[in-house]
A and B are shown apart, each in its own frame.
Chain A
């Protein structure tokens, strides 16, 4: 599951953090809306940071899905290659 050349694990952690930070912007959103910046503090309302929050969440979620898929494929490919190599040695 680990790769010496490229760390998918690091990429996944960064994407998860991006997603959590994007989702966590709701607190700031509420705070800004409570001070009259933005339209509503209600659930499903439109806050001043909703657009930014949604963009960060969508981009990092897509990045997370892609990096997890790439990590899985790389792991499968690596295990197949190491199996081939061990078969070749025998």
Chain B
């Protein structure tokens, strides 16, 4: 399902880019994509390993740390999003790309994450993304005989809503769609992760703390854009490449 999620996201990205055009030319778009991919890979893995800190400590003590590092699991969407975002910001600064390039990623991310969450649901308890026990009528039994919140389904519904709202919104400034998506997804994860039985540090799990840090970064970024240079007036989103 993970492979299907990446494929679905990429197909939607290609379709959207063909339909709407792009604010940057093709080589610049590939540079942004590469930065996003590498950043997402690093962020996803780092947070994924850090999130399993009790297992990490146990693996370290038993001398199986390298085994844990090489194990295929342990990636997080939040780490991927934050790592990808920071990677793109860094590479855009280095390569002098000044246009905001994230809007085109919003719908592909919604689709890709939603497909990935189907995989999380099908993987059940092995995936570590299941919800807390509940007696609600729509509780799911993941094989241990306990009815649980279908948190993966909640997330798919949330992403569908965000995808519809963001893509149907009236004309927004360049980059606003991505910031709305990122902010709302990070906020959603802070809320929904209270329904997941994860190890807590100071009342929240590591993903929730990362989401909070991401929201703070996003707020700072929005302030910088709003009160910074006259960048927005310079780019009204008129230039369109590769329609």
Contacts A/B (CB < 8 Å), 30 sampled:
A1-B31, A1-B91, A1-B95, A2-B31, A3-B27, A7-B27, A7-B30, A8-B34, A10-B34, A13-B34, A16-B37, A16-B40, A16-B41, A21-B2, A21-B3, A21-B6, A22-B72, A24-B2, A24-B3, A26-B73, A27-B1, A27-B2, A27-B127, A29-B72, A31-B123, A43-B55, A43-B71, A53-B72, A54-B70, A57-B70
Instruction: Report Cα–Cα, A22/B2, bound state, in Å.
Output: 10
Chain B hits for A74, CB < 8 A: none
Main secondary structure of the interface of A (DSSP, over half): helix
Residue of B nearest to A3 (CB): B27
Of B3, B38, B123, the contact of A16 (CB 8 Å cutoff): B38
Main secondary structure of the interface of B (DSSP, over half): helix
Interface size class of A (residues with CB under 8 A): 20 to 34
Residue pairs across A and B with CB atoms within 8 Å: the count is 82
Q: B119-131 interface mask toward A, CB cutoff 8 Å, 1 = contact, 0 = none?
A: 1001100110000
Of B6, B67, B127, the contact of A20 (CB 8 Å cutoff): B6
Q: Are B72 and A26 in contact (CB under 8 A)?
A: yes
Chain A hits for B2, CB < 8 A: 20-21, 23-24, 27
Instruction: Report Cα–Cα, A31/B31, bound state, in Å.
Output: 36
Of B34, B64, B73, the contact of A12 (CB 8 Å cutoff): B34
Q: A20-39 interface mask toward B, CB cutoff 8 Å, 1 = contact, 0 = none?
A: 11111111011100000000
Residue numbers of B with Cβ under 8 A of A are 1-3, 6, 27-28, 30-31, 33-34, 37-38, 40-41, 55, 64, 67, 70-73, 75, 91, 94-95, 119, 122-123, 126-127
